[in-house]
Structure formats: structure tokens, C-alpha cells
Structure 1
Amino acid sequence: MKARNLIDAVNRTVCLYPEKDALLSKVNGSYSSISYQAFWEKVRNTAAGLASLGISENNKVAIISENNPNWPICDLAIMSLKAVSVPIHSTLPPDQISYILQNSDCTFVFVENEKLLQKVLQTNQISQKIAIFYPDENFLESDHIIPFHHLCRNGEEKPLENWEEIWKSIERDDLATIIHTSGTTGLPKGAMLSHGNILSNLEGVQFWMIEARPTDIFLSHLPLSHVFERMAGQFMPLSIGATIAYAENIDTVPENLLEVRPTVLVSVPLLFERVYSRAQKTIDAGTPLRRKIFDWAVSVGIKRYHYYLENTFDQIFRNSELPKDFRRQWKLANKLVYNKIKSQMGGRLRGLISGGGALNPKIAEFFWAIDLPVLEGYGLTETSPVVCVNPMARTKVGTVGKPLPNLDIRISDDGEVMVKGPSVMKGYYKNEEATSKQFKDGWFLTGDIGQLDPDGFLKIIDRKKRIIVLTSGKNVAPQPVENAINQSIYVQNSVLIGQNRKFVSVLITLDFENIVTWSKKNGIKGDKERLIRNEAVQSLLKSETERFTKGFPSYEQPKKLLISCEEWTVESGELTPSLKVRLPEIERKYQETIERAYSDQKLNDMQMAADETAVSLSLSKPRRERENEFTA
């Protein structure tokens, strides 16, 4: 029997595994656990504390916090009262936090610490009561602010007698949460997701993906304020009795992987790119023999992946194992290479789940080759979020998988992916105009251009609004080119530019740790600015861009390279909280740099006449009054 609502789904787990570890978090330098029964009691007490402050049906309550046990406790407590949870990214500036609080009509806010409290207090209109997770007993309570542990103690001393009756009456169609979109093209919109939206997505995902098990341990490091982590890293494990361990922060993930030794890791392409980059860097620093062994082992793993992909299910089940000689090669490769890489990620991972952006096919193939299956999927906040995912039994690298069994997708005449099914949102909160624009004849318009192959696997080409049209009439999809360039261990981010221009250029940020390592190895010294000015470094970046884009048609290959020595971050505004590039912000910030690059007509004509793929490096002097930007 299907769960009636999200609280019901978790309660079933509590009844089955009361003494099992539900949550793990770092306390005084080591991981401590909370059992499912203790977790449930905390949810109950938090709900009673909220009720004593007047929170009830349809009230909106915000959570502004990094990942920790209090996040799911508050999330479930809010929803158990028929109230609506409103997650807000902790990295957002005060003005955006203020906008979301006001737009969603929040009456109460949970914040993690004093730093985030100050962000809320900086907003112009403070109409919400605030509970802070701040553990200091000396923290002064006021009319607006209450320490979280006081709220929970109030709930424990004055329990809500009809709490179970309240959450059991919640229907699937009832509103559970309002999650605001990243706002890559404008102001965030609040997607209204019901209990049924999220539950149906869980049910569909479990059909296709790694079947999550009660014995699994998930390492949670993506923001829980993002729908992908909320579904795959919170509700999925809690609904089947798995354990969630919280990473301390994004920088400690490598260390936490070794401490927790998870079995499933939900992440974004950036983490997998970093693991791949680290492996390449280690091999490049080794002996020629070591490199030869590594390349051989990867080739064996890729051959194994294609063996399983190309054979039918009947053939695989009938033979069950690889051919004898091939099996011997794979076991040797596993011992010499695969196990060493897997041990650096804890040694127990049986599957990786990638979402929130496009994963480079070569990097995906690498993980499959070293026996770390990575399942790439596709979805949006408005679809709760998963639309497609690669099935464990037959993953097709380079695609985002097959539609969930309870969803329908259609490709429109202009190539846009359209979705219909029970996980599609109820609409945008207080924005009927935006809601009506997002639907056509009952189909949700994703804004993504895609293709379905003969086997029903979906391939995302790019965002519909991101297709670059050159003055020659050629159309360029930036995402595949950017993914290719991002394979370089020296590149952190890349953005293709060229709308209504003769040719495309690329703007990149650098992985300075790897740039510095390479420079030292080649006897080059200096700070960031000096390194970017150095001809040898420029030559390296030129050759990397050429190397990774040589397989694309000439008109899709960048003719100019623009380099910024600044890192792009969520805090500085270039990235969304889900680590997508905010193109309007990039174009605004680097407008002068881009215009200077395209105004060098002599160089442009030379490149276009020769139709060369090489990037000519003619560094111009930076303008000191602007950001540290350089045109190469």
C-alpha cells in the first residue's frame, strides 16, 4: 500500500527500524548517531513547539541552514502540521532571502547560526518569528527570536495530543513545500510541490535506479534547500530505512568519504569532475609505466561496460560472467587500479547518482570503467525533480536515461522536452501568469532541447534559450562544448559566447591549484596575474582548449579564449546554489571584456579567413579599475 503522505512514509520506516541509525553528524570531531525512534521524537517535539507558537495548516515556514540533523527534523515537523516548508539557500544574499520570505508569505523562520540570523535581520521587513539552531545557552531570547532547543523543550513539556491525527489526515494532493527556482534568468519563482508530487517521484525513481536498501549509507553534501538532494538525499533514504551521514562542508567531502564509507553518493557533475581530475593529476605525475598500466586498466573497464551494454539481458543472465580471459584481465585491473581509486572514496560505494547538470560522457565512462557505476538523470524543481534516469541494469552513457514509468515525455516540433505526470508541480505560488506560460495543453514545458533515441533514452542538447545563433546562420549548442573544455584539469568553469557574432569564443575560470602545480614543475613563479600573463601558461590553455574541442565542427570551436582569474561562486553571484552558471550575470560582469575581444577585427578576419581551430593568444592589458579579467 502506497504511503498517504511524506510523514506517513517516514513513520513506516520508524516502525520497522526504531533502533537503527537514521542520521549521522560530526560532533566534537567524530560522527555521532540519532536512531529512527529518537529522530521521530524530535520531529514530534518540534511540531508541538511550532504549534504552541501558532503554526498550523497552510502557514509557510522557512528553513535557512546548511545540512545537519535539524534540517529534516524541522522539515517533517512543519509538514506534519499541514504547514508548508520553504527551504532557502543559505548562500543567498540578504535581499534575495528577503524576496523569498515575502514572496512565500513566511510567518516563521528556522536559521542555523548567528551569521544567517544577521542575514535575515538585515532584511527591511522582519515580520517573521525566528528560531535559531545556535547552541549557546546564553543566547538572549526576544519577541522575534527563540533558541531552537527552547522551542523543542516547550514541545516536549506540552505535547500536541492530536499530532498523529493531524498528519494522518494529510492527503497526497496537499501542499508540502514551496521551492524557489535558481533564478538563472530572472527573479526566483516558487514551485508548489505536493506530498503526492514528491512521493510519486520516489516511487518512479526506485523502479529504475539503484534499489536503495535499509543497509545503505548516504553521504549528504549537496544543499538540502535544493530539490535534488531533498528527494534523493533525504526522503529516499528516510523512506526505506537507510542512514544519512552529513558531510561537514563541501571541502571536507574527501575526508568524510573515508570516515563514513558510504554505499551511495548523490552528487553533481562538479564532484565527479574533481575526482577524475585528481586521478589524472596523480597519474600524470607518475612514471611512464604507471601511466601505461592506468590506461590499460581503464581500457579494460570500458570494454567491460560495453560488453554489458551490447549484450541482451538474456545473454548476460545466461553467461552471468565475462569470458574467462577477459575476466582475468578485469580482476588484475581491479587489483592494480580500480580498488585504489575506490578506496579513496571509502571503498564501499556501489553506485553514484549524478544530477543537477550535464555530466561529461567521458567522465561518466571513466567511472563505469573503474567499477563505480554512475547513473545520470535529468529533472527540474518543477518536476519534483526527476524526469529521466539511467537504469542500473542498462545505463547508456551520454544520455540522461529513460523517463520514469509514471511519467510521459514528448519532444515538441522545435525540440523542447515536455513532461506530464503525477510529479509535475501544482504551479508557481502567487504567479498564475508564469504558471500558464509553463504549460501547454496539460504538458509542462521544460525549456530544454532534447532528443529520444530508438531505445527511448533521452539526450539533452541544451537549454532552449541558450542556443547560440551565429551571423552565418549556424546554431551552436554551448553545453557539449563547455563540457568538453571542462574536462581539462586546468579549467574550473567555461561559458561559450557568440550570439549574433561571426564566431564563438569561450570564457573560462581556472583551477589554480593545478595551474600552480604545473607552473612550479616548469620553473614558473608568480601570483595569479603573473601566471595568466605568462606565455607558457597561455600556450598550455590554448592547447587544452584545442585538444578538447577538436572533435566539434569548426563553427562550434572557440576562436578566442577569455580568461578570468576570479573564481565563480554562489556568493559572488556567478553561480546558482545548484552550481549552474548564471549567464546574464556573466554577460553583464564581463561585457567590456567580451566587447574588446570581438572588436579586434584584424584578428577576427584572420581567424575566420583561415577557418582555424587554434586560439590565438594576444593578451591585452587589463583594466585595473575592473575585476581581474584578461583577454587572451
Structure 2
Amino acid sequence: MKPANLVEMVWRTAEKNSQKNGFLVKVAGEYKGITYRDFWIQVSQTAAGLAHYGVGFGDHVAILSDNNPYWAISDIAIMSLGAVSVPIHSTLPSDQISYILSNADCKFLFVENQKQLQKILANSTLDKLIIFYPGDSLAEKKEDMLTMEQLMSAGEKHPLFNWEDEFQAITRDDLATIIHTSGTTGYPKGAMLTHGNILSNVEGVQFWVLEARPDDIMLSHLPLSHIFERMAGQFFPLSVGATIAYAENIDTVQQNLLEVQPTILVSVPLLFEKVYAQAQKMVESGTPIRRKIFDWALKVGNTRYKYYLSSATDVMVRKSELPKEFRRKWKIADKLVYQKVKKQLGGRIRGFISGGGALNPEIGKFFWSVDLPVLEGYGLTETSPVICVNPFSRTKVGTVGKPLPNLDVHISDDGEVLVKGPSIMKGYYHDEEATKEHFENGWFKTGDIGEFDEDGFLRIVDRKKRIIVLTSGINVAPQPVENALHQSIYIENAVLVGQNQKYVIVLLTLNYENLKSWCKRKGIRGSVNELVTNKKVQELITREVKSNTHKFARYEQPKKLIIVTKEWTVEGGEMTQSLKVRFKEIEEKYKEVIEQMYEEEAYAEIEVAANEVAVGLSLPKSKGD
């Protein structure tokens, strides 16, 4: 029988796997295990503590923290009382945090540490604060503050009677969480997701994609405040008794991969782009013979990829079914190249799941070619989140896969992806108008433009509202061009602009680690600003833009480019918490530079704005321009 709610699902797992490590967390330089039994005891004590201080069915409790075991403990404890968990991105500034707390009617808040505490000390709407890691002393102690230890101690002294009976009475229709969308403009909207919404997504993914196993280890490094990580990196492994290891932070993922040696990694395109760039950098710095071996191994991998993914077959070809002569080549390539790449990722990965944005198809093919399957998917906060994903047994790189078996997906007359099914949110909290705007005849409107291929695999073409219309009347979908530019190891981010202009131009941030390595080999030295104004560097970036966009129609190819020297970050407002570019923020921030680029026939001066240097370049004209 299927569990009635998320808490019951985790309880069943904890009962079945009580002595097994459910979590790994780094303490004093070493990963330590937390068994499912100990985890569940802490959940029960936290739930009892919350109830003791007045939290009950329907109350809203927020969590402001980076990933750690207390995040999962508090999340499940909140929901076990029939209360609603409200995650908040740890990178948000205090004013946005206050907006979410107010919008979601939160009275209780779990906060990670003193750094996060400082953001909400002025908030007077909260009844109680619970601090995960208070440190040696609190900068400001208030009566409404408790440490996590104090909360659990209260729960131990005042245990809940009939707790298991009570949480088993929670239904799939009951509200589990309110997650605020990290949109590119305006205030965030609180998507209301039920227990059934998330459960149905876990069940659909487990059936359709990469079946999670009790012996799997997952490295959790994306924010748990985002539904993608919450579903795929928390509830997905907890549904089967797998182990969740927490990365220390985003900068230590490479080291933590080597320490934890995960079997499955859920991530975003940015990580795969970095691994790809690192591999390309390694090849570039190698000897000619090493480069030849690497290229040969990639060709072998590409051939095997075609065996696996040929549209003529519906079942993935196993190694034993490959031609004997080819199997010999593949084993040599595996020993010389593939195993070395795998070793840098811990050595035990059997599959990646990529979401949160479009993965460049060339990068996807690279991973498949080195025997590291990447299963790209697609979804939204409002859909809990997965709508489509490539199954392990039948994958098409360059698509986001097929709809989950418990969802219906339809393409409207104007190309928008519409979806129905049990994982679709109830609506936006306190926003009936926005809810009505996103539903039509029972279908949820994703706002994405997509198309199905002949085999029923979905491709996302672009955002419905992000189409560039040139003065010629021609429409340009920016995303495919931007994805192509992300293939360059020297380009970190690319944003195409050109609404109501004759042609498109592109704003770029660069991968300065790779650029500095190239400059060192060329004998070029200097600061970042000096590098991007160096003629040879500008010629390099120009070549990269031209070579990666030459396959597009001429009107889709950028005629000029702007190099931005300042990194785009969540804190700076250029990126969302799920590491997507805020396009309208970028266009507004660099409005003057963009306008000057269009006003001048040629542009090679340095524009200084807000202590940032933006270098504009005109690309060489192609025939027919």
C-alpha cells in the first residue's frame, strides 16, 4: 500500500533500515554517519518540542538554512504535526526573507546560525526562533529564541502520545509546503504543494528514471530550499533507504565527491559545464599523444553512445551485446580515459540527474561518451518539480525526455507546454489572480515553449515570454544560442539581447580560471580588466563566439559582444537561487552599455559603470551580413 503522506513514507524507511546510515555529515574534517534510527528519534523529539510550544495542524513554520541533517529533521517534524514547511533560500537578503515570512504567515522559524540570525532579528512577526548551530554565544539573546538542543530536550520531556497515529491520518490532499518561486522579476509567489504532489513525483521518478537503491549514496549540494533538491536529493533517497551525504558548501563539492564517492549525483548544468571545462583544460595542457588518445577515446564513446541511444531501438544495448571487436576498443578507452574522468568524481557514479536549466547537448554527449550517463529532465516548482525526464534505459541527449507516466503533457496551439496530473500545485498562497493566470481548463501553463519529436521526447525551445523580436519582424529564441556559447570553456554565462533592434548582441561573463591558464601559456599577464582589454584575449573570445554560433541562422548570430568582468552571483542579484540568470535584471543593469553598442557602428572603448568594466566588441562580419 502506498504511503498516505511524506512523513509516513520516511517512517516506513526508518523502521526498515533502522541501523543503516541514512545521513553522512562532515564533522572535524571527517564524514560521520547518522543512522535512520537516530534520525527518527530526533524527528520525534523535534516534533514534540514544536507541539509543546504551540505548533499544530495548519501552522506555517519556516526554515532558513544551508543543507545539513537538521534541515531534514525539522522539515519532516513540521509536516508530522500537519503543519506546513516554508523553506527560505539562505542567500536571500533580509528584506526578501521578511517578505516571505509575512506572505506565508509564518510564526515559527528554524535558522541555521548567527549569520542567518542577523537577517531576521528586526522581524517582529515571529513567535519563536529555533537556532540549529548557535555557536559559543549569541550576539543578541531574546526570549523567543531556542537552540535546537533545547527544543529537542523539551520534546523529550513532553513526548507526543499517539504521534504515529496522528501523522498517519494526514492525507495526500493536505498541504505539506509553500515554496516561493525564484522568478526573474517581481515578488516571489508561494507555490502550495501537498503531500500527494511530492509523493506522486517521487513515485513517478522512481518508476521512470534511475531506480534508487538502498545501497545508493547521494551527495546533497543544491539548496534544499529549492524543490528540485528537496524532492530528488531528500525525499527520493529517503523513499528507499539510501544514504544522503551533505556537501560542506558549493565550493567543496569536488573534494566531497572524492570523500563520499556517491553513486548518484543530482545537479544543475553549471556543474556539468565545469567538469567538462576541466576535462577540456586537462586535454589542452597535455602532450600531443595524450590529446590524440583522448580524442580517440571520445570517438569510441560516441560510437557506443549511438549503440545505446539509436532511435531504432527501445532497449539500451548492454556492453555484452556490443560487437566483439568494438568491446575490445571500448575496454582500452575505458582504462586509458574514462576511468580517469570517473576517478575525479569519486569513481562510483552510475548516473547523473540534471535539472534546473537546459544542459548543452554537446556536454551531455561528452558525459555519455566517457560512460557517465546524464539524465536531463525538466520541471517547475509548481509541478513538484519533475514533468519530463530521460529514463536510464532510453535516453535522447538534447531533449528533456518523456513525461512521467502519471502526468499528461500537451503542446498548445501557440507552442506552450501544458501539464495535468497529481504533482501540480494547489495554487499560489494568497494570490488567486496569479493562480487563475496559470491554469486553463484544468491545464497548468508552464510558460515554456516546447515540441515533441517523432519518438515522443520533449524539447524546450524557450520561455514563452522571452522571445526576441527584431525590427525585421523575425523572432529569435535566445536559449539555443546561449546554450551553444556555454560550450566554450572560456564562457561562464551568456545572455542574448536585441528586442526591437536590427540584430542581436550577447553579454558574456568569462571563466577566468580557464582564461588565465590560456593567457599564461601565451605569456599574457595582468589583472582581469587588463586581460579582457588585451587584443589577443578579445580575439580568442571573438573566435569562441563565432565558432559556437556559426551553425545558427545569421539573424540568430550575435553581431557584437559585451564582456562583463564582474561575476554574476545570487547575492549580486544577477542569478536566481537555482543558479539561473535573471535576464531582465541583466538587461536593466547593463542598459547603458547595450544602448551604446547599438548606437555606435563600432565600439571598442571601456565603459565603467558601478565599479564594473564592460568591454564591447564588434564581431567580424560574415558574408551576407
Correspondence 1:419-498 to 2 at 5 A: 419-498=419-498
Structure 2: which 5+ residue stretches go unaligned? 618-625
Correspondence 1:111-190 to 2 at 5 A: 111-123=111-123, 125-136=124-135, 138-139=137-138, 141-190=141-190
CA contact (8 A) 2:222 2:267 kept: yes
Residue 552 of structure 1 aligns with which residue?
Answer: 552
Secondary structure of 2:608's counterpart equals coil
Structure 1 pair 10–289 and aligned structure 2 pair: CA distance change class (3 A): same
Residue 619 of structure 1 aligns with which residue?
Answer: 604
Distance 1:551 1:454 in 2: 23
Per the TM alignment, residue 624 of structure 1 is displaced from its structure 2 partner at its CA by 5.6
Residue 412 of structure 1 aligns with which residue?
Answer: 412
CA contact (8 A) 1:141 1:147 kept: no
Distance 1:313 1:582 in 2: 40
TM-score, normalising length: structure 1: 0.96
CA contact (8 A) 1:84 1:176 kept: yes
CA contact (8 A) 1:26 1:248 kept: yes
Residue 606 of structure 1 aligns with which residue?
Answer: none
Residue 532 of structure 1 aligns with which residue?
Answer: 532
Give CA-to-partner distance per residue, 1:462-502, whole Å, 9 cap, x none.
Answer: 10011111111111111111011111111111100011110
Residue 502 of structure 1 aligns with which residue?
Answer: 502
Give CA-to-partner distance per residue, 1:384-419, whole Å, 9 cap, x none.
Answer: 000000011110000000000000000000000000
Aligned-partner residue type, residue 346 of structure 2: G
Structure 1 pair 596–151 and aligned structure 2 pair: CA distance change class (3 A): same
Give CA-to-partner distance per residue, 1:157-178, whole Å, 9 cap, x none.
Answer: 2111132122111000000000
Aligned-partner residue type, residue 81 of structure 2: L
CA contact (8 A) 2:309 2:316 kept: no
Distance 2:188 2:98 in 1: 12
Per the TM alignment, residue 510 of structure 1 is displaced from its structure 2 partner at its CA by 0.9
Correspondence 1:275-424 to 2 at 5 A: 275-310=275-310, 320-424=320-424
Secondary structure of 1:119's counterpart equals coil
CA contact (8 A) 2:316 2:393 kept: no
Per the TM alignment, residue 141 of structure 1 is displaced from its structure 2 partner at its CA by 4.8
2:6 is the counterpart of 1:6: yes
Distance 1:311 1:578 in 2: 32
Distance 1:268 1:316 in 2: 25
Distance 2:318 2:479 in 1: 40
Taking only the aligned residue pairs, the percentage that are identical comes to 63
Structure 1 pair 316–622 and aligned structure 2 pair: CA distance change class (3 A): closer
Distance 2:134 2:336 in 1: 48
Secondary structure of 1:223's counterpart equals coil
CA contact (8 A) 2:606 2:614 kept: no
Residue 631 of structure 1 aligns with which residue?
Answer: 616
Secondary structure of 1:481's counterpart equals helix
Give CA-to-partner distance per residue, 1:335-389, whole Å, 9 cap, x none.
Answer: 0000000011000000000000000000000000000000000000000000000
Secondary structure of 2:393's counterpart equals helix
Distance 2:126 2:548 in 1: 52
Per the TM alignment, residue 311 of structure 1 is displaced from its structure 2 partner at its CA by 6.8
Per the TM alignment, residue 577 of structure 1 is displaced from its structure 2 partner at its CA by 0.2
Structure 1 pair 319–212 and aligned structure 2 pair: CA distance change class (3 A): closer
Structure 1 pair 537–553 and aligned structure 2 pair: CA distance change class (3 A): same
CA contact (8 A) 2:564 2:614 kept: yes
Residue 614 of structure 1 aligns with which residue?
Answer: none
Structure 1: which 5+ residue stretches go unaligned? 604-617
Distance 1:525 1:142 in 2: 53
Distance 1:18 1:33 in 2: 13
Distance 1:378 1:152 in 2: 38
Residue 52 of structure 1 aligns with which residue?
Answer: 52
Per the TM alignment, residue 631 of structure 1 is displaced from its structure 2 partner at its CA by 1.8
Structure 1 pair 554–128 and aligned structure 2 pair: CA distance change class (3 A): farther
Distance 1:314 1:365 in 2: 19
Secondary structure of 2:109's counterpart equals strand
Distance 2:243 2:330 in 1: 32
Aligned-partner residue type, residue 266 of structure 1: V
Structure 1 pair 323–29 and aligned structure 2 pair: CA distance change class (3 A): same
Give CA-to-partner distance per residue, 1:12-36, whole Å, 9 cap, x none.
Answer: 1111110000010000100001000
Correspondence 1:52-91 to 2 at 5 A: 52-91=52-91
Distance 2:401 2:83 in 1: 35
Per the TM alignment, residue 513 of structure 1 is displaced from its structure 2 partner at its CA by 1.1
Per the TM alignment, residue 47 of structure 1 is displaced from its structure 2 partner at its CA by 0.4
CA contact (8 A) 1:481 1:549 kept: yes
Residue 588 of structure 2 aligns with which residue?
Answer: 588
Per the TM alignment, residue 587 of structure 1 is displaced from its structure 2 partner at its CA by 1.1
Per the TM alignment, residue 519 of structure 1 is displaced from its structure 2 partner at its CA by 1.1
Residue 573 of structure 1 aligns with which residue?
Answer: 573
Per the TM alignment, residue 585 of structure 1 is displaced from its structure 2 partner at its CA by 0.9
Structure 1 pair 350–161 and aligned structure 2 pair: CA distance change class (3 A): same
Distance 1:569 1:624 in 2: 17
Distance 1:406 1:280 in 2: 40
Residue 97 of structure 1 aligns with which residue?
Answer: 97
Return 61-70 or 148-157, whichever deviates more. 148-157
Per the TM alignment, residue 312 of structure 1 is displaced from its structure 2 partner at its CA by 5.4
Give CA-to-partner distance per residue, 1:103-148, whole Å, 9 cap, x none.
Answer: 000000001010100011244x443421111243644753221111
2:35 is the counterpart of 1:35: yes
CA contact (8 A) 1:232 1:266 kept: yes
Give CA-to-partner distance per residue, 1:182-221, whole Å, 9 cap, x none.
Answer: 0212210000000000000011111111100000000000
TM-score, normalising length: structure 2: 0.97
Secondary structure of 2:607's counterpart equals coil
Aligned-partner residue type, residue 605 of structure 2: S
Aligned-partner residue type, residue 37 of structure 1: R
CA contact (8 A) 2:181 2:191 kept: yes
Residue 199 of structure 1 aligns with which residue?
Answer: 199
The two structures, once aligned, show a CA RMSD in angstroms of: 1.4
Distance 1:52 1:574 in 2: 42
Distance 1:537 1:249 in 2: 32
Correspondence 1:225-240 to 2 at 5 A: 225-240=225-240
Structure 1 pair 365–168 and aligned structure 2 pair: CA distance change class (3 A): same
Give CA-to-partner distance per residue, 1:16-70, whole Å, 9 cap, x none.
Answer: 1100000100001000010001000000000011111100011100001000000
CA contact (8 A) 1:267 1:355 kept: yes
Distance 2:35 2:316 in 1: 40
CA contact (8 A) 1:94 1:122 kept: no
2:256 is the counterpart of 1:271: no
Per the TM alignment, residue 628 of structure 1 is displaced from its structure 2 partner at its CA by 2.3
CA contact (8 A) 1:185 1:584 kept: yes
Distance 1:319 1:176 in 2: 43
Per the TM alignment, residue 320 of structure 1 is displaced from its structure 2 partner at its CA by 4.6
Give CA-to-partner distance per residue, 1:565-597, whole Å, 9 cap, x none.
Answer: 000000010000000111121111101010110
Secondary structure of 1:121's counterpart equals coil
Secondary structure of 1:628's counterpart equals strand
